[in-house]
A and B are shown apart, each in its own frame.
Chain A
Amino acid sequence: MEKLSFEISKEVKFRGISIVSVVVLVIIWAIVTHFEWVDPYFIPKPLEVWSSFVVLLSEGYKGASLFTHIANSMYRLFTALFLAFITAVPLGLLCGYSKYIRAIFDPIIEFYRPLPPLAYYALLVLWLGIENESKIALLFLSGFAPLFIATAAAVEKLPADRMNASLSLGATKRQLFQYIILPSCYPDILTGLRTSIGVTYATLVAAEMVAATNGIGWMVLDASRYLRSDIVFVGIILMGIIAIGLDSLLRFYQARRFSWVGK
């Protein structure tokens, strides 16, 4: 118990340091802009950013509410992630199981994975148009690879003794998969999903900057054309907060559900 309370107090201490760090950054920002050491066109004042945010909340941006922009982006993100999840996980499991199947898919995935998504985005737009389809396809491709690789690696690193133990306890091949292999892989699949969300999110903003008429990424790019750096700031801060929020949710789930990992 003593050790636990010690760990908590340490945790609180680090959290405190992080908060102080953010506050200091905002103060520096306020000072720099207050004395106009930098052109206000480049860096708006914190208060201006806040009031732009309030205006955006009530009036929206270019015909759509701020919420709609965010919702459009999230719709693209989650549709793509969902599609990636239901394809990458089964295929990853299969490829982890059989080296032959892996040999079929490996060259394709290894080839496109390191490509910058925007390189093949041109093709996708050509094929699917500038609406949601091309964006979702792009996000799907960027989210697919990390999830696939994490799942296949999880199957490959399964301890042989664990599988032998369950077979000796009378598990059939099917039961082995359902009760041992799948649960053994869950934590790594979730870690893969976190990576995949990160990559997809980065791609999303880029995709909306190339061809879009709504979405949070588009809003930032469009605002920059009119030198509205205050709106750009609002957009960037919102994107950051959403990303941190999504990842903390998954981390929280991971910590609760998979407390046994690595022990």
Chain B
Amino acid sequence: MAITNRVPFEDKDFEQEQKRKIIEVKNISFQYSSQQQAVLQNIDLHLHSNEFVCVLGPSGCGKSSLLNIIAGFQKPTTGEVQIEGKHYSKPISEIGVVFQHHNLFPWMKIKENVGFGLKMKGHSKEEIEKQVHHFLQLVQLESAGDLLPHQLSGGMKQRAAIARTLAADPKAILMDEPFSSLDALTKENMQHHLLLLWSETKKTIFFITHDVDEALRLGTRILVMQPNPGKIAIDMANPLKRNNPAAVDFHHKEFQELRSYLIGAIKTS
């Protein structure tokens, strides 16, 4: 699979596409009633179509809380989130979530897991079967459809979880350190898969990680959050992705510079 040869869209389209807002986070604050310090304070954030946003930050900076609020799992203390201009405050199928733990339904076969979203929306059996086949192929799990989740390896489970989220056809996908529990080799393989999927499906992705290399490799845009109270300290386009969003040269001088810059930003917080 020569993904380095792929250029999913021209630079010019890229700029235009950038302008369409998918998710708007409007002046979000979040605070536990038992605590003095706010977890998040006055967060404003727009996620655009076709954007791969990677979020870095030390633990306790509120990045998971932010994800939970965007997912509709948690209500903000103040402010609101909108999807394409519409306010929402509970989980919706337009926003898919991939968890750190795969969270597949353990009693369902992989194909039933992947088809779950379509089944909930009342699609016909044939339609579900067709879609499930397509998405299993996309994550290279065609042969695992009839297995139960516990029969799969860690990387396969996470791929199945991604297929399940994609199959429900969300407008944006939120991922909370989805590869952090995988070994280095599987992780790299998964990053490769994800980039491929992203360029094929053109979904907006909001991706939390604590791995700077991962953020630089995947993100078209990188956020760094800082704690006490949680806020966005850096919001930048990833210059390494300017020409070829699908491939990043780890040995490039620019990469090394960016890497130290981001690590510095995370540490000072």
Q: Which residues of A contact B (CB under 8 A)?
A: 159-162, 164-172, 175, 179-180, 183-184, 186, 258-261, 263
Contact = CB atoms under 8 A, between A and B. Distances in A.
The 7 closest A-B pairs by CB, nearest first: A170-B93, A263-B150, A167-B91, A169-B117, A260-B106, A170-B120, A168-B91
A170 B93 CA distance: 4
A164 B67 CA distance: 13
B97 A171 contact: no
Contacts of A260: 106-107, 148-150
Contact of A170 (B99, B101, B105, B121): B121
B248 to A, nearest CB: 29
A130 B131 CA distance: 63
B99 A175 contact: no
Nearest to A257: B107
Given A161-B101, A165-B97, A259-B148, A170 B107 contact: no
Contacts of A175: 120
Given A167-B90, A167-B91, A162 B105 contact: yes
Given A167-B90, A169-B93, A169-B120, A162 B107 contact: no
A164 B107 contact: no
B107 A169 contact: no
B172 to A, nearest CB: 11
Given A161-B101, A161-B103, A260-B149, A169 B95 contact: no
Nearest to B121: A170
B55 interface: no
Contacts of B222: none
Nearest to B161: A165
Contacts of B73: 160, 164
Contacts, number: 68
Interface in B48-66: none
Contacts of B165: 168-169
B150 A164 contact: no
B57 to A, nearest CB: 21
7 contacts: A164-B73, A166-B116, A168-B96, A170-B121, A175-B120, A179-B119, A263-B150
Contacts of A162: 103, 105
A263 B106 contact: yes
B99 A165 contact: yes
A175 B97 CA distance: 18
Contacts of B170: 168
Contacts of A167: 72, 90-91
B219 to A, nearest CB: 22
B103 A170 contact: no
B117 A170 contact: yes
Given A166-B120, A170-B92, A263-B150, 11 more contacts: A164-B73, A164-B97, A165-B103, A167-B90, A168-B92, A170-B120, A179-B119, A183-B105, A184-B107, A258-B107, A260-B106
Interface string B121-148: 1000000000000000000000000001
A263 B117 CA distance: 23
B168 A170 contact: yes
A166 B120 CA distance: 9
B71 interface: yes
A161 B99 contact: yes
Contacts of A169: 93, 96, 116-117, 120, 164-165, 168
Nearest to A176: B120
Residue among B116, B119, B165 with max Cβ neighbours from chain A (10 Å): B116
B148 A164 contact: no
Interface string B238-250: 0000000000000
A168 B106 contact: no
Contacts of B96: 168-169
Contacts of A159: 103
A180 B95 CA distance: 19
A258 B150 CA distance: 12
A201 B106 CA distance: 33
Contacts of B71: 164, 168
B155 to A, nearest CB: 17
Contacts of B97: 164-165, 168
Nearest to B97: A168
Contacts of A183: 105, 107
A180 B198 CA distance: 29
